[in-house]
Structure 1
Amino acid sequence: MTRDNELGDFLRARRDLVSPVDAGLPWHTSRRVPGLRREEVALLAGVSTDYYTRLEQGRERHPSEQVLEAVARALRLDGDATGYLFRLAQPAPRTAVTDPARTVSPELTRLMNHFLDLPACVVSPALDILAANPAGQQLYSGFDRMDNLLRMVFLDPAARRFYRDWDHAAQGVVGNLRALSAPFPNDPRVAQVVGEVSLHSPAFAALWARYEVRPRTSEDKHLWHPLVGGMRLHYEAFTVTSAPGQQLFVYSAEPGTPSADALVLLRSLAGDTLAEHSAPGVESRTAR
Structure 2
Amino acid sequence: MDRSREIADFLRSRRARVTPGQAGLPSDPRGRRVPGLRREEAARLAGVSTEYYTRLEQGRATNPSPEVVEALCEALRLDASEREHLTDLLARPTAARRTPVRPQRVRPGLYLMLQTLEHVPAFVLGRRTDVLAANRLARAVLTDFDALPARQRNLARYYLLDPLARERTGDWERIAAETVATLRLEAGRYPHDRQLADLVGELTLHSTEFTSWWNDHRVLRRTHGAKRYHHPLVGDLHFSYESLQPPGDSDQTLCVYNVEPGSPTHQSLQLLSSWTAAQAESAAHGSAPRRPPPRQPAPGGSAAPDSRSAPDR
2:125 maps to a residue whose letter is: V
Distance 1:90 1:8, change over 3 A: same
Shift of 1:286: 9.2
Opposite residue 77 of structure 2, the aligned amino acid is: R
Letter in 2 for 1:139: V
TM-score w.r.t. length of structure 2: 0.80
**2:295 corresponding residue in structure 1:** none
**In 2, are the aligned partners of 1:277 and 1:285 still within 8 Å (CA)?**
no
- Aligned twin of 1:153: 159
SS in 2 for 1:158: helix
Query: Given residue 86 of structure 1, which amino acid in structure 2 is its aligned partner?
Result: T
Give the Å deviation of 1:244: 4.3
* Cα deviation, residue 75, structure 1: 0.7
For the pair 1:54 / 2:55, whether they are aligned, the reply is yes
Cα distance, 1:221–1:75 mapped onto 2, change above 3 Å:
same
1:202–1:54 CA distance, 2 compared to 1 (3 A): farther
Provide structure 2 residue ranges, at least 5 long, that are not aligned to the other structure. Answer: 289-304, 309-313
SS of corresponding position for 1:170: helix
Q: 5 Å matches for 1:100-139?
A: 102-139=104-141
The answer (yes or no) to whether the contact 2:123–2:135 under 8 Å persists in 1 is yes
Partner of residue 141, structure 1: 143
Q: What is the correspondence of 1:178-193 to structure 2 with a 5 Å cutoff?
A: 178-180=184-186, 182-193=188-199
Distance in 2, matches of 1:177 and 1:52, equals 27
The question of whether the paired residues in 2 share the 8 Å contact of 1:18 and 1:75 is answered with yes
- Length-normalised TM-score, structure 1: 0.86
By how many angstroms is 1:20 displaced? 2.9
The match for 1:90 is 91
**8 A Cα contact 2:122 2:256, kept in partner:** yes
How many residue pairs get matched? 286
- 1:21 is aligned to 21
Q: Output the aligned Cα RMSD.
A: 3.0
- Counterpart residue number, 2:9: 9
Q: Please say if residues 120 and 258 of structure 2, whose CA atoms lie closer than 8 Å, have aligned partners that are also in contact.
A: yes
Distance 1:24 1:250, change over 3 A: same
Question: In structure 2, what is the Cα distance between the partners aligned to 1:27 and 1:265?
Answer: 62
- 8 Å CA contact 2:81–2:220 kept in 1: the answer is yes
**What one-letter code is carried by the residue in structure 1 that aligns with 2:130?**
D
d(CA) in 2 for partners of 1:160 and 1:19? 35
| C-alpha separation in 1, matches of 2:54 and 2:64 | 12
- Percent identity of paired positions between Structure 1 and Structure 2: 40
Cα deviation 1:24-43 (Å, max 9, x = unaligned):
33156843323322222122
SS of 2:221's equivalent? coil
* Contact 2:242–2:255 under 8 Å retained in 1: yes
Report deviation, 1:138: 0.9
Q: Which amino acid aligns with 1:176?
A: T
